[in-house]
Structure 1
Amino acid sequence: MTHVTHVDAKEVLVIKNIRSTAGGLLRGRSLAAQFLVFQLFVVAVVLVAVAAVSVAQSEGEFRDVRGQRMIAVAENMASTPIVRERTEQTRADPFLARTLAPEVDRAVALSGASLAEILGPDGTVRASSDPSRVGARVDLGATRADEGRAWFGDTDIDGTHSLVGQVPILSTDGEVLAIASVSEAYPSVWGLLSGAGESLLVYLGLGAALGLLASWLLSRRIKRQTGGLEVAEIASLADHREALLHSIREGVIAVNGSGEITLLNDGAQELLDVTGPAVGRPVDSVGIDPAVVSLLTPGQESESAMDTVIATRTRVLALSRRPATSQGRRIGTVTTMRDSTELAALQGQLSSHKSVTDTLRAQAHEFANQLHTISGLVQLGEFDAVRDLVGTLTRRRAEISDAVTQRISDPAVAALLIAKTSLAAESGVALDLDPASHLAALDPALATDVITLLGNLIDNAVDVSVGSTPARVTVGIDDRDGLSILVSDTGPGVPEHLREAIFSRGVTSKPDVPGGRGIGLALVRLVTAQHGGTVEVADVPGGGARFEVRLKAATHA
């Protein structure tokens, strides 16, 4: 088993390949040699098939042409006067074979046949060009000559496959007196190939030579294109590639120019929540979040997308897309991704704490100014004015605190709202709490998430409301039927076509916002989804936007 680390993966891969394939190269043939042998086998099969067809055609041609020739020679021999005279004798002639020997020999000499014979109606050989066959018995089962008709066909003569032509010798009243039989042995396979013509042999030889040359050239080309790697090396490389890709924690997904997934490792499957088979399918058909799909299949693949943050419904992902090329030709894109959910959550909490810190800093500055005023009044001896100023400041702080704490019992959420009220006032925006709001003390974990939701929603609402008339943000919280959070502003609102996009990759509807913004609403949707809730955005009558978050039943302390 191969153990590979992310640091020395390449070196280990090369070393393991050399060790694992050295023995294979000594024991087996190379890929080029194996392909050459296979091609030679194919060429041999083709040549055998061509030869078999040629033999079959030559055999058929031989049967048709020579069969008619055998009948013609048999008819000529049967019409010879001495043959007819001798076969018409009713008494047995012991010298018949000797008398007719010249005629049967002449038939063989004139036709080039292998054997010429005179048979009796029962198949007995009366005269033959082969004297040893005189008196032998021939099977007339397939012939039609004993029925008075000329015939040619295949038969075995002394174990030799032969073509025979037979013609009956008839009496004046139509009786079969004898049978003139002329036969010729079928030529050998080589003879049939030769009979097909010398050009066929030339073509077969030329085809074999061209097949050998083409096989050799193709094997060389394959060896060049595979970089000299053999079968075992290619298989080892493929195994190591799969092992490395599927073992790394980061997600890797490759998409070709047609928008089909060509690679999806285990990390990408988990991060994108892909459960079924995805390789070979269009990227928009496997259930990937639309925001991720739009990045994986961009309009211009030549543009790289580095460290793009996308918030899906369950995760915050940091993706980097690069174009993929092979031999100078673009073949698609490769995108790597990592899970930034925890980092984004910590960033949101840090942002909330920073907001509180900024509020405290602003309040400290405000208190310093107030103390300076009080100090100046004391030095002037305006003690009545000091008493009136301190009373006014005390009442104002008490009103803000009472307005929140009477409706919000959770101390962390109440503190956030008080701090946000002061911070919004510094920006010239009034932050109001809906009088119908109600929130009991929450479980600490849930309170932390509610602070994240409220902090991001209020910060966005305050930012877009600055400069509007009136500049106001209204917050409503209700835990009597689940937990709902409502934040509305007097800003420009959210265009309808952006109402889904603002919850994904760093999108913001605020102009002139420096980089790094836009993650707040993504965190809102992520935290909401983790609690099984929903978040919606709508227009406010008269202008502005309203964000509504609904969670399941709140967990109280």
Structure 2
Amino acid sequence: MRRLLNASLGTQLLLLQMVIVFLSAGGTASVWAEHTRDQLDRQHQQRALAIAEAVAGLPEVREAFALPRPEYVLQPIAAGVQAATGADYVVIANRDQVRYAHPNPAMIGRRLSTDGSGVLTTGRPWTGTQTGTLGRSVRGKAPVLDSAGNVVGLTSVGVLEETVAGQLDTALPPLLWTVLAVLVAGSAGAALIARRVRRQTFGLEPREIAALLEQREGVLHGVKEGVLALDLQGRVTLVNDAARDLLGLSPHDVGRGIAEMPLSDRMRDVLAGEDPGDDRVVLHRDRVLVLNRMPVAVREQRSGWVVTLRDRTELVRLAHALDQASSTTDALRAQAHEFANRMHTVVGLLELGEHETAIGYITRTTEAYGRHSAGIREKVADPTLAALLLAKSAEAAERGASLVLAGDSRVEEGMLGDPRDAVLVVGNLVANALDALAETGGTVEVSVRTEKDGLHVRVGDSGPGISPGLADEVFREGFTTKAARSGPRGLGLALTRQACLRRGGWVRVHNAGGAVFTALLPRREEES
């Protein structure tokens, strides 16, 4: 038994199926043989009863019972019927069960070894199996009636079970050949099935398959990146814990199509392959995900796709923070460059002896910068947003453009609460406007004002504007009209829309002498 349990999977399957085939064939043969034996018994019983009734109905038999020595008449009749019908015996007895005819003449005059089974008392025929002087036999018994209808005796006709068994033995060879053919065919089929299973499992044993499954589950649910598998019909066949957490899915989503799951259109496009490419950036809820979709082939046939998902939310936030820091650095560099130029001018005037001119130049420059800074601080009381606008103003000057704060701007101190979303929205809209003026220069007008419903932002530029057909596309993640460079592109406006929508606001764009972006950033409940 231990050797059998340690045998290969193919061997165990072969032996198991062979046992099943043998039991099935053997059981079928046994049932068939038993059924055939029962049929033979019933046939011989009916045949014996027919002969017994025919003998009992002969006039000679009836009349012989009235003679002093009935056996002289009945014995020859019984012998003739036995020889003519092929029965193993024909016995005739009177009402007292004394034999008048028997295959063995020595038994004539003796009583029957078995009763008449109710034939003599009820006058009804009987069939069955009994054991007599000649052995166990299949019998049929019929009453002998006189002219008045009274029972005066009985006739018993039987076929020995040896004869029935001989007939069954004659019918067995075809059955045995059939069973043998079934066994051979079943063995061949079992061997083919075992070979096919061995080929489909690549020759791996059950313990090896179990180990692979455990390793697969451990790897899939242990990796930090999300893994999502799709079949050819776009149904989810596998999702690990990380992907389930990133996409907000449940275990019940396995087996569903991507069109049935709570995903954005952009996410569905990437998962379905309608937006092909590597490292596709998708915004999902509050996360920035990077997706890669690769085909899966089994035995050189396409079977589906596997999609990996990487969470780059913190990386993008850090990148935007770095951009803000870079913008501030650029502004400081531009101011330092401008300050150096002005200092050189002052030094030159002093060397020329133009002291009054130098003093006037310094005074005008200081007053202009002070008025600009004071103008922003007067309208924008929040220091973080004011610093952002000052930095963007310096950046615009460095890039050959100008940033103008609209007259309706008014941000009261403390009205923004946490300024991070406001800085994100204003910073991205201004950066987008400056990019639109990168080749031509021009003016960027910014309006920021706080009202009861939140922060209203309007950023317009004097650039070429937005094509009407792209008014909605510009907010889609991955959309960009800029030349490709390192880092994820097309996220600024998408993040702006996400920040506004997350608070229940909106962001829109239209053309009015250039592109004009308007946005509403509602206040958070805890800030109210």
| 1:33 matched to 2:21 | no
Q: One-letter code of the match for 1:77?
A: V
Who is 2:85 aligned against? 111
| 1:548 matched to 2:519 | yes
Who is 1:138 aligned against? 116
Partner SS, residue 284 of structure 1: helix
- C-alpha deviations, 1:222-274, integer Å up to 9, x for none? 22432332222212221221122112222111111111112111111111111
Per the normalisation by structure 2, the TM-score is: 0.83
**Structure 1 residues 188 and 75: CA distance shift in structure 2, 3 A:** closer
**Structure 1 residues 299 and 179: CA distance shift in structure 2, 3 A:** farther
**Structure 1 residues 401 and 31: CA distance shift in structure 2, 3 A:** same
Who is 1:15 aligned against? none
| 1:306 matched to 2:284 | no
Q: Distance in 1 between matches of 2:164 and 2:282?
A: 77
**Structure 1 residues 453 and 472: CA distance shift in structure 2, 3 A:** closer
| 1:408 matched to 2:380 | yes
| 1:417 matched to 2:389 | yes
Which of 42, 46, 51 aligns to 1:73? It is 51
- C-alpha deviations, 1:6-54, integer Å up to 9, x for none? xxxxxxxxxxxxxxxxxx9885443223212331233234424643564
CA contact (8 A) 2:400 2:442 kept: no
CA contact (8 A) 1:457 1:547 kept: no
Q: One-letter code of the match for 1:214?
A: G
Q: One-letter code of the match for 2:320?
A: G
Partner SS, residue 253 of structure 2: coil
**Structure 1 residues 553 and 216: CA distance shift in structure 2, 3 A:** closer
Per the normalisation by structure 1, the TM-score is: 0.79
Who is 2:428 aligned against? 456
| 1:244 matched to 2:219 | yes
Which of 286, 296, 301 aligns to 2:261? It is 286
Q: Distance in 2 between matches of 1:362 and 1:191?
A: 119
Unpaired stretches in structure 1, ≥5 consecutive residues: 1-23
Q: Kindly tell me the number of residue pairs found equivalent between the two proteins.
A: 519
Superposed counterparts of 1:136-535, under 5 Å: 136-140=114-118, 146=123, 155-158=128-131, 163-184=138-159, 194-196=169-171, 198-299=173-274, 305-383=277-355, 385-441=357-413, 446-466=418-438, 471-478=443-450, 480-491=452-463, 492-493=465-466, 499=472, 502-504=475-477, 506-508=478-480, 510-516=481-487, 517-525=489-497, 527=499, 532-535=503-506
Identical aligned residues as a percent? 31
Q: Distance in 2 between matches of 1:327 and 1:272?
A: 31
CA contact (8 A) 1:432 1:474 kept: yes
Q: Distance in 1 between matches of 2:416 and 2:445?
A: 26
Q: Distance in 2 between matches of 1:144 and 1:474?
A: 126
Q: One-letter code of the match for 1:450?
A: A
Q: Distance in 1 between matches of 2:79 and 2:211?
A: 76
CA contact (8 A) 2:52 2:140 kept: yes
**Structure 1 residues 276 and 232: CA distance shift in structure 2, 3 A:** closer
Q: Distance in 2 between matches of 1:344 and 1:46?
A: 68
Partner SS, residue 253 of structure 1: strand
The Cα of 1:419 is off from its aligned counterpart by 1.6
| 1:538 matched to 2:509 | yes
Partner SS, residue 473 of structure 1: strand
Aligned-residue CA RMSD (Å): 4.0
CA contact (8 A) 1:145 1:166 kept: no
The Cα of 1:80 is off from its aligned counterpart by 5.4
**Structure 1 residues 443 and 118: CA distance shift in structure 2, 3 A:** farther
Q: Distance in 2 between matches of 1:373 and 1:553?
A: 50
Who is 1:83 aligned against? 61
Partner SS, residue 296 of structure 2: strand
Partner SS, residue 184 of structure 2: helix
Partner SS, residue 396 of structure 1: helix
The Cα of 1:460 is off from its aligned counterpart by 1.0
Partner SS, residue 369 of structure 1: helix
Structure 1, 52-61 or 346-355: larger mean CA deviation: 52-61
Unpaired stretches in structure 2, ≥5 consecutive residues: none
